[in-house]
Structure formats: structure tokens, C-alpha cells
């Protein structure tokens, strides 16, 4: 077996890992990047998650009224595939063109805490490293439902974004962020979608008013919801799967679908790594345990991105890179930690999108904070003509404000451009800008940001 000696070994081509590999390679260190599939160079985000899904949503918005949805879907997938292939190649060349970096395609598993074996068919390579970074991401959780795992109609997000064939009917198991984003995407192509959610309502982590507003928009777009429903069985038939569910009241129902999409979350991908050989500990969810410096139970082994059980966002993986780089690069000071993160925003890319940051009203009150609320429907906003200009005045904006200090505790923006607006709110929260200062900001016109002038003018309750 050939042996490759390195300063740094990165397992997984995700955002944090690839950025660290490039930085270390440019500094002159010997680096190996291992990725199990050439189709995942660059990571999950650009290949099967963030980028292709948003591209398909954008393409749907461009479909002429007289265009066949199925043909448009096929063309959209082809266009998206071409775009991700280009990005994948750029990511590969970003590392491969560095003389100090070796990209290896194959499945990695630990031999001990310093050695990793990479297997690709009959080929085997042993890699030794002073520092190892695990960046293997997460994979969809398939719930333990009779017949589901064996169903020919079970699909994941990766299957959907790569298949040019538009399913005619889709059942989505799970009314959380992942399930709803795909439900919203498919509805833009006129695909009938039914979302089955075990809780009494969708988006159970959000305030009731925000969740209700989001559900109303999604229903308007043709999505059907069955809440309080636990899926009990999936049975394959001729061209369709029959999904059986039972409500909290004990009533049984069925729906038929050509595709059954699981949207019940993602779990850290560690099964193939043989972490026990390296002495790397995991928690009861299978996530690699790390400290605030992202060190595992072996101090020279780090875990970044989804695999360490933190928030599953690409930008968190990028910040993980900053934390690790500060520990292992010659220019680092060793002071950066995950506790430095404040006001991390996120967005559900429905149409219009839902941007969120900080506490919900429910969380703030449960924490004993004295709060005031500023909330307004987008359709009622006089200071946001952009919504009327682009033809979508649906949604609402809501701020949670500390009644004593005027501190912004959180915000939920269900509106056009909220994927950008929420970053402004997050920045205000990080820098201590009060609700009044944000309210009195001078913003361009006509823009969506100027809605803050009006929404925050009436802070009540």
C-alpha cells in the first residue's frame, strides 16, 4: 500500500474543509483532501443542496404562463446541472492547482488517530497527518416507517435536484425547513404536494403568527397540509406509492404519490469513518463531540460543519474554518472559538422567503425577558413599495424588542428580499444597534430595507 505523509488531512470537500485546505496549501503546508465522490467536489451546498435548489426556484419564477411545467422542469434541471458542474470544476481546480495539495477520491476510514486508509475500488492509499479535519457533512434521516426504506418511490433532496423527470404527485414527510423548502420549490412547477407533519402545525420552532402566515402562503401556492399526522406505512403499487398516516385522534388516511420525500432532518455522516479506531467520541445523535475550538477527543483531530452537530448551514462551516485556522495556522492566535458567534441568521427559501435571527417572542418570554413586539403585514406597509413593484405583497415582518433596553432580541421577516434583510438585522444585533436606531436608519428608495422605518415605528405589547 502506498503511503502519503502530510501536515494536514481533510476528510470531506465541504465549505470549511476546502477553505482550510486551500489556506494551508497556499502557506506551503503539505495537504491531502479526501472526497468519496468526484460528484461532490466543492461539498453538498453547491452540488445537491443550497445552490441547485435556489437555482431551480429562480428558474421556476421565469417560466412563461404558456410553458409546459414538465418541459420547463427538465430544462431547469439541465441548466442547474451545467452550473453545478462548472462550480464543481472550479472547486477542484482551486485545490488541484496548488503544488502542496493532493486531492484523493475514495472512502476514508481511520486506522488509528494519525493514519487513515482511503479505498477506491481495488486501490488503497494510507495517509498520515499531523492534523486531521473531519468535514463529512450530514445525510437525510429516513424515519422508521414500515415499507419506507424499501420503497422504490423514496427520494432524497439529492435525487430530486438531479432527476430531470418531474414527479406528478409528491408526499413530503416533515413540515420543517427542509421539507417545506422542497414543497415550495415543487409547487412553483405546479406539482401537487402534500406535506405530512406529525406536530399540530408546521414550523413548530417559530411563533404561531409567523407559522400561520407561512402556511397560508404555501396553501395559496397549492400545497396541501395534513398536520398532527404520523406516517405508519408506505406500500408500493403500480406507478405510485400509497402513504398511510394516522392522526392524533386515531383516524387513518392515505395519499398516493409518485415520489415520497423525507424531510425529517439530517444526521452527521460518520458510519464509514471507523472513529473508534482513532478514539474520536460521538454523542447520542452520532455527532462528533467537539469543544469550543472544534477539537475532538483527540486534540489534533478537528470536526467542522454539519458532522459536529452544530447548526447545519454552509456559513457555519465557513466560520468553523476560521476557528480551526486560528488554532493550526502559523498566523493564528489560538483565541477564536465557537462562543464568539452572535445572532446567526437563517432563511427558509419559500416564496417569499422567511428570514429569521435571534429569539422568537415565545422564547424571549420564556426566558423572562420583558418584551415589546413590532409586527406588520407586508401588504399594509406604505414604506415598502418594492413589494408591490415586484408583485408579491404577502407575508409579515416581526421584531422582538427588549422593553427596557430597546435591544433587538430577534426578528422574523416573511417577505420578499428577506434573505438579504435578515443579514442587516443580524449585523445590528451583533453591533448593539437598538431598535430605535434601526427604525431611524436612512435607506435607499424604493427598497425593502426601508420597511424597517415603518415596522419599528409601532412597538407594542
pLDDT tens digits for 391-432? 999 999 999 999 999 999 999 999 999 999 999 999 999 999
- Domain span including residue 363: 346-455
pLDDT over threshold 80, residue 460: no
Judge if 392 and 367 occupy the same domain.
yes
Which H helix or E strand runs over 92? helix 69-96
What's the pLDDT tens digit per position in 187-228?
999 999 999 999 999 999 999 999 999 999 999 999 999 999
3-state secondary structure of 219: helix
What's the pLDDT tens digit per position in 123-154?
999 999 999 999 999 999 999 999 999 999 99
58 in active site? no
DSSP string, 136-178: --EEE-----BTTTT-TTEE-HHHHHH--SPPSSEEEE--SHH
Rounded to whole angstroms, the Cα distance separating 221 from 46 reads 27
The dihedral built from the CA positions of residue 204, 207, 208 and 211, taken in this order, carries a sign that is negative
Residue 24 near residue 329, CB atoms below 8 Å: yes
CA-based R_g, the chain, Å:
24
The total number of structural domains in the chain stands at: 3
pLDDT score, position 458:
84
Helices (H), strands (E): how many in the chain?
A: 14, 22
Residue 109 lies in a domain: yes
Residue 148 lies in a domain: no
Determine phi and psi for 134, rounding to 5 degrees. -95, 125
Q: For the full predicted model, state whether its pTM sits above 0.85.
A: yes
Judge if 23 and 118 occupy the same domain.
yes
pLDDT over threshold 70, residue 240: yes
Judge if 358 and 428 occupy the same domain.
yes
pLDDT score, position 38:
95
What's the pLDDT tens digit per position in 269-300?
999 999 999 999 999 989 999 999 999 999 99
Rounded to whole angstroms, the Cα distance separating 364 from 367 reads 5
Judge if 240 and 287 occupy the same domain.
no
Residue 436 near residue 349, CB atoms below 8 Å: no
Find, among 461, 60, 287, 2, the residue nearest to 52 by Cα: 60
CATH of the domain at 192: 3.50.50.60
Rounded to whole angstroms, the Cα distance separating 80 from 323 reads 32
Judge if 281 and 314 occupy the same domain.
yes
- At CA 176, angle to CA 56 and CA 398, rounded to 5? 90
Catalytic residue among 58, 248, 300, 445: 445
What's the pLDDT tens digit per position in 39-62?
999 999 999 999 999 999 999 999
Judge if 318 and 220 occupy the same domain.
no
pLDDT over threshold 60, residue 461: no
pLDDT band of residue 1 (cuts 50, 70, 90) is: confident
Judge if 238 and 165 occupy the same domain.
yes
Reading the block at residue 246, the C-alpha cell is 394516522
Helix, strand, coil distribution of the chain in percent, nearest 5: 35, 25, 40
Write down which residue in 286, 309, 340 finishes a domain. Answer: 340
Judge if 202 and 280 occupy the same domain.
no
Judge if 242 and 357 occupy the same domain.
no
Judge if 21 and 107 occupy the same domain.
yes
Segments of 228-275 assigned E as strands? 229-236, 241-247, 252-257, 259-262, 266-268
By residue count, the chain amounts to 461
Find, among 51, 1, 8, 46, the residue nearest to 27 by Cα: 8
Judge if 55 and 117 occupy the same domain.
yes
pLDDT score, position 459:
81
DSSP string, 279-306: T--B-TTSPBP--TT-B-SSTTEEE-GG
**Residues linked to residue 196 through DSSP beta bridges, in sequence order:** 173, 226
Reading the block at residue 108, the C-alpha cell is 476514508
Rounded to whole angstroms, the Cα distance separating 296 from 302 reads 5
Residue 34 near residue 127, CB atoms below 8 Å: yes
Burial classification of residue 340, based on how many CB atoms lie within 10 Å of its CB (0-12 exposed, 13-18 middle, 19 or more buried):
exposed
What's the pLDDT tens digit per position in 317-375?
999 999 999 999 999 999 999 999 999 999 999 999 999 999 999 999 999 999 999 99
Amino acid at each position: 500500500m502506498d503511503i502519503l505523509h502530510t501536515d494536514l488531512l481533510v476528510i470531506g470537500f465541504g465549505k470549511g474543509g476546502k477553505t482550510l485546505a486551500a489556506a494551508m496549501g497556499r502557506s506551503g503546508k503539505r495537504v491531502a483532501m479526501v472526497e468519496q465522490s468526484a460528484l461532490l467536489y466543492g461539498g453538498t451546498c453547491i452540488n445537491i443542496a443550497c445552490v441547485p435548489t435556489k437555482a431551480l426556484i429562480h428558474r421556476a419564477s421565469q417560466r412563461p404562463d404558456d410553458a409546459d411545467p414538465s418541459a420547463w422542469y427538465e430544462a431547469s434541471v439541465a441548466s442547474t446541472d451545467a452550473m453545478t458542474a462548472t462550480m464543481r470544476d472550479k472547486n477542484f481546480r482551486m485545490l488541484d492547482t496548488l503544488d502542496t495539495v493532493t486531492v484523493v477520491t475514495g472512502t476514508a476510514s481511520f486506522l488509528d488517530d494519525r493514519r487513515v486508509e482511503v479505498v477506491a475500488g481495488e486501490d488503497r492509499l494510507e495517509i498520515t497527518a499531523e492534523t486531521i479535519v473531519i468535514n463529512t457533512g450530514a445525510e437525510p434521516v429516513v424515519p422508521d416507517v414500515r415499507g419506507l426504506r424499501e420503497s422504490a418511490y423514496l427520494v432524497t433532496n439529492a435525487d430530486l435536484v438531479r432527476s430531470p423527470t418531474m414527479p406528478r404527485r409528491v408526499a413530503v414527510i416533515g413540515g420543517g425547513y427542509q421539507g417545506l423548502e422542497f414543497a415550495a420549490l415543487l409547487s412553483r412547477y405546479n406539482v401537487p404536494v402534500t406535506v405530512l407533519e406529525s406536530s399540530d402545525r408546521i414550523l413548530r420552532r417559530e411563533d404561531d403568527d409567523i407559522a400561520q402566515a407561512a402556511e397560508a402562503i404555501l396553501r395559496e401556492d397549492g400545497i396541501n397540509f395534513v398536520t398532527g399526522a404520523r406516517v405508519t406505512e408506505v406500500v408500493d403499487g403500480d406507478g405510485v406509492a400509497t402513504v398511510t398516516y394516522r392522526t392524533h385522534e386515531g383516524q387513518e388516511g392515505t395519499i398516493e404519490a409518485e415520489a415520497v420525500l423525507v424531510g425529517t432532518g439530517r444526521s452527521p455522516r460518520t458510519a464509514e469513518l471507523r472513529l473508534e479506531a482513532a478514539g474520536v467520541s460521538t454523542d447520542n445523535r452520532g455527532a462528533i463531540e467537539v469543544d469550543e475550538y472544534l477539537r475532538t477527543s483527540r486534540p489534533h483531530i478537528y470536526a467542522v460543519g454539519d458532522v459536529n452537530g452544530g447548526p447545519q448551514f454552509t456559513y457555519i462551516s465557513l466560520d468553523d474554518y476560521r476557528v480551526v485556522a486560528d488554532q493550526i495556522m502559523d498566523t493564528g492566535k489560538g483565541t477564536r472559538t465557537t462562543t464568539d458567534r452572535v445572532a446567526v441568521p437563517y432563511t427558509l427559501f419559500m416564496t417569499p422567503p422567511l428570514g429569521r435571527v435571534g429569539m422568537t417572542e415565545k422564547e424571549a418570554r420564556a426566558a423572562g425577558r420583558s418584551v415589546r413586539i413590532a409586527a406588520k403585514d407586508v401588504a399594509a406597509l406604505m414604506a415598502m413599495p418594492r413589494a408591490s413593484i415586484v408583485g408579491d405583497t404577502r407575508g409579515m415582518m416581526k421584531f422582538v424588542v427588549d422593553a427596557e433596553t430597546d435591544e433587538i432580541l430577534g426578528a422574523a421577516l416573511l417577505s420578499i428580499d428577506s434573505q438579504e434583510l435578515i443579514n442587516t438585522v443580524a449585523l445590528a444585533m451583533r453591533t448593539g444597534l437598538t431598535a430605535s436606531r434601526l427604525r431611524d436608519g436612512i435607506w435607499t428608495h424604493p427598497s425593502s430595507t426601508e420597511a424597517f422605518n415603518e415596522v419599528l415605528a409601532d412597538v407594542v405589547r
